[in-house]
Amino acid sequence: MARIAVIGAGMGAMAAAARLAVAGHRVTVYERSATYGGALGRFERDGFAYDTGPTLLHLPAVYRDLFLKTGKKPLEECVRMTQVDPASRHLFPDGTDVCLPNTSRAGVVSALDAALGAGAGARWGDFLGRARDAWDRSRRPLLEEPLRGDWQVLGRDPYPAVRRRRLLRAPRVAGTVAEVGTGELADRRLAALFEGYVLSYGLDPRRTPASAALLPYMEQTFGSWYVRGGMRALAHAVYERCLARRVEFVFRADVVRIVEKDGRAAGVELAPGPAASAPTVVEADHVVAGTAPAALVDRELWGDDDVRPQGGGAGGSGAPSVPGRFTVLLALRGGRPDGTAHRTVVHSPDGVGEAGAVFSGRTAERPTVTVLRPDDPTTRPDDGHEALTLTATVAPHGPVDWNGAGLRERYADVLMETAGAAVPELRERLCWREIRTPADTAAGTGARGGSVPAPSLAGAEGRLLHPANSTRLPGLYVVGGEAHPGGGLAHAGMSGTLVAGLIVEGAEFRGSR
């Protein structure tokens, strides 16, 4: 039985902790804040309740497997999950309004044909077929296996782009999301649909490889799921599973250093505080870092031939370059109308300008806004009120000073004005609003600039991969959105599986099965 110290109580860290405890190890989680869940926060006021991080679960099989492998009660007995149907409603600048059903390829094709015109659905369906090919080609090395030493094979884009013939010129092949939208989807609204998926994950459609087709493919194939009580209920269920497996949690414990001995990780040092009156060293046989570990060690954790942290990623230097989220929580008078879509996306009239602003450290004048209206009694004081959330992808804190009260209020007004297309009389119904910016995310989670890590993608010569879960310091592993396979709720769970496998099985571990 090994002693394992886990730094942070995010979803990936707790997933690893539960699996390691089941394998017979003694696991202690050290969390600098007063609670668990990482980005899966909850805000409550006057009987209203809101998720402050991810709001929907995709690839639920990741957490079903976690609960199956760590106890008798399956996931569905620990939380109440429902498929969101329609999966999403989309409002385009020309007035087009389309609802896309959940996990129905034929239904999506039919809806797009009806709203955008004959042939639009078929083009989207063909696009998803190519996305499925990319999924089949890259799924295991990208998501289910430890990042291999020959990770460069993932630098090639697995998306089978269509070769477009051009008179007297060489055939052209789309290489980016934007080029797929222009050349293969051939409709500005379909292009905006694809680009909106990509931007919502914090990726630049102008530069992200076509392999990002995996993102809409995963959502439309495996569905969008809502957890009653919000994603915080899922975090609580994972926390309770850890406790049932005898994982120990120490909150308000700030790890300031990873201890080395004989050339390997040998424990953690805690700063003085509620958990320790003086700096305290806790010995461990393995250390699992659920936060960027570079500041906690005095050596390089990845070599020149490894995938290196980028921008605001794990241990990266310089200003954070990964976008964050601007969120407005709205308490409204009046009940949620029957038939209201859970998620509505109001697309920007200038997608190119929006991406240019977000990825150059400016605020977009007309952002794409996602409107979330869950049909969940736990989110509101009574049926005469509604809890509604607005979100937009924005530049991180640093390039934009999100602490300025004037900017916070002005940009919240912009989101509310945009959301008015989806929610009539929005301002007239308003009781109060709460604003959350990347600066708040940074303060609450420790993420540099409030950046939200994107999932790993193949292509782009490996620039969108994340560092391996194992490091050049033996005994130190990295879990969560800053490591392979990247950001996102499902990906965090996958990273927990990979780290647990590497510790339990060692070099023989070949990935989840």
| Position 506 confidence tier, pLDDT thresholds 50, 70, 90 | confident
pTM above 0.85, yes or no: yes
| Number of Cβ atoms within 10 Å of the Cβ of 44 | 11
Alpha carbon distance 19, 381 (integer Å): 38
Tally DSSP H helices, then E strands, for the chain.
Answer: 14, 21
First to last CA, the chain: 24
Report the pLDDT value the prediction gives residue 317, as an integer from 0 to 100: 39
- The answer to whether 3 touches 287, Cβ cutoff 8 Å, is no
Query: What is the average per-residue pLDDT within 29-38?
Result: 95
Q: Torsions phi, psi of 406, nearest 5?
A: -60, -45
Q: Torsions phi, psi of 408, nearest 5?
A: -55, -50
Report the pLDDT value the prediction gives residue 281, as an integer from 0 to 100: 94
Q: Is the pLDDT of residue 507 over 80?
A: no
Q: Is the pLDDT of residue 169 over 70?
A: no
- The answer to whether 156 touches 177, Cβ cutoff 8 Å, is no
| Position 172 confidence tier, pLDDT thresholds 50, 70, 90 | low
Report the pLDDT value the prediction gives residue 165, as an integer from 0 to 100: 64
Alpha carbon distance 454, 316 (integer Å): 15
Query: What is the average per-residue pLDDT within 359-365?
Result: 96
- The answer to whether 496 touches 12, Cβ cutoff 8 Å, is yes
| Position 425 confidence tier, pLDDT thresholds 50, 70, 90 | very high
- The answer to whether 491 touches 215, Cβ cutoff 8 Å, is no
Report the pLDDT value the prediction gives residue 312, as an integer from 0 to 100: 39
Q: Is the pLDDT of residue 282 over 80?
A: yes
Query: What is the average per-residue pLDDT within 22-30?
Result: 97
Query: What is the average per-residue pLDDT within 131-136?
Result: 96
Best CA proximity match to 81, nearest among 56, 47, 54: 56
Q: Is the pLDDT of residue 499 over 80?
A: yes
Report the pLDDT value the prediction gives residue 170, as an integer from 0 to 100: 54
Query: What is the average per-residue pLDDT within 377-387?
Result: 97
192-226 per-position pLDDT tens digit: 999 999 999 999 999 999 999 999 999 999 999 99
Q: Is the pLDDT of residue 229 over 60?
A: yes
Q: Catalogue the E-assigned strands of 163-263.
A: 163-166, 169-173, 225-227, 248-251, 255-261
60-100 per-position pLDDT tens digit: 999 999 999 999 999 999 999 999 999 999 999 999 999 99
Rg (CA), the chain: 22
| Position 255 confidence tier, pLDDT thresholds 50, 70, 90 | very high
Query: What is the average per-residue pLDDT within 355-371?
Result: 96
Q: Is the pLDDT of residue 12 over 60?
A: yes
Report the pLDDT value the prediction gives residue 232, as an integer from 0 to 100: 96
Which region among 51-55, 173-177, 366-370, 482-486 has the lowest average model confidence (pLDDT)? 173-177
Average pLDDT of the chain to the nearest whole number: 93
| Number of Cβ atoms within 10 Å of the Cβ of 153 | 12
Q: Torsions phi, psi of 361, nearest 5?
A: 80, 30
Report the pLDDT value the prediction gives residue 275, as an integer from 0 to 100: 59
Pairing between β-strand 476-478 and β-strand 42-45 as defined by DSSP bridges: unpaired
Report the pLDDT value the prediction gives residue 173, as an integer from 0 to 100: 79
Query: What is the average per-residue pLDDT within 409-416?
Result: 98
